[in-house]
Amino acid sequence: MNDSHIRGSFISIEGIEGVGKSTNIRFICEFLNRLGIANIATREPGGTPISEKIRDLLLEVSNKSICPMAELLMMFSGRAQHICEIIEPALASGSWVICDRFTDATYAYQGAGRGLSVDLIQQLEILVQGAIRPDLTLIFDIQTNLGLERANQRGNPDRFEREDIEFFDRARHCYLTIADASPDRCKLIDASQSIGQVQSEIRDLLEQFVASRT
Ligand code: TMP
């Protein structure tokens, strides 16, 4: 059998600021490397040169006047480029894709956070992504104030990080609702646990997931 015909799996990593996504993404890639599973780590907004320019526009603090609809379309514009240039070719070649945020973040931030309609986001999701959906989503959850406290330690907050706690509360609750509504795809992980406990949960979930895909 020719392995190049086996499509890779698409894993997205979600959660509000300060849940420790970057550390856990490194852990996931190392885990997959040990199993000999080819993988790439990427992120949204961003992931390609053009999408990274859109990311810069979105995060730039002085761009206060970006309206919610423009923000939503910029997210999906960067996503369209990311899918076409990176995600789809990688999956088609058999590589797994580990993406730091994907469309669940749009429901959480532009939907719940900014108050844009879920229906509109769903329509854009269908239009832009076609059949592309994560096969597995790890949602890291933490009490909003704890997450923000951790994120603030990094300093130099971007345009999103300057939002008030209610904005992130709405995003967090949207993530919890998504996890509840899609239990097969979404696995909720308590990010307030020790790093050892978090990584042991990730390992268990990935072992099950890999077994289900191979
Ligand atoms: P990051 O801090 O995880 O790199 O993400 C940058 C910000 O972008 C973060 O505050 C969440 C936000 N975001 C959205 O608002 N909508 C989206 O669709 C995505 C992917 C990210």
Over the stretch 50-77, which tens digit does the pLDDT of each residue have? 999 999 999 999 999 999 999 999 999 9
Nearest atom in ligand 1 to 75's CA: 18
Domain containing residue 66: CATH number:
3.40.50.300
Q: Distances from the Cα of 47 to the Cαs of 38, 120, 164, in angstroms?
A: 18, 24, 27
2 Cα to the center of ligand 1, angstroms:
37
1 occurs within a structural domain? no
Q: Is 44 in the pocket of ligand 1 (CB under 6 A)?
A: yes
- Within a domain: 67: yes
CA distance 43 to 121: 19
Kindly state whether residue 4 falls inside one of the protein's structural domains: no
12 touches ligand 1 (CB under 6 Å): no
Question: Is position 2 within any domain?
Answer: no
Would the pLDDT of 180 be above 60? yes
Mean residue pLDDT of the chain comes to 96
pLDDT at 10: 98
- What pLDDT score does 214 carry? 77
CA separation for the pair 79, 166 (Å, rounded)? 26
Say if residue 5's pLDDT is above 90.
no
Q: Ligand 1 in contact with 51 (CB < 6 A)?
A: no
Question: Which domain, by its residues, includes 60?
Answer: 10-213
Number of domains observed in the structure of the chain: 1
pLDDT at 15 over 70: yes
Atom of ligand 1 nearest to the CA of 45: 20
In the numeric block, the tokens 């086996």 are attached to: 6
Q: Say how many Å lie between the CA of residue 105 and the centre of ligand 1.
A: 6
Q: What is the three-class DSSP state of 134?
A: coil
| Per-residue pLDDT reduced to its tens digit, 18-27 | 999 999 999 9
pLDDT at 4 over 90: no
| pLDDT exceeds cutoff 80 at 16 | yes
Query: Mean pLDDT over residues 99-110, rounded?
Result: 98
Written as six digits, the tokens of 171 are 């995003």
Q: Does 158 reside within a domain?
A: yes
Q: Tell whether 101 is covered by a domain.
A: yes
Output the pLDDT for position 1. 44
How many angstroms separate the alpha carbon of residue 142 from the centre of ligand 1?
Answer: 16
Kindly state whether residue 117 falls inside one of the protein's structural domains: yes
Is pLDDT above 90 for 204? yes
CB-neighbour burial class of residue 171 (10 A; exposed 0-12, middle 13-18, buried 19+): buried
What residues contact residue 161 under an 8 Å CB cut-off, 6+ apart? 17, 151, 152
Q: What single letter denotes the amino acid at residue 32?
A: L
Q: Is the CB of 109 under 6 A from ligand 1?
A: yes
**5 lies in a domain?**
no
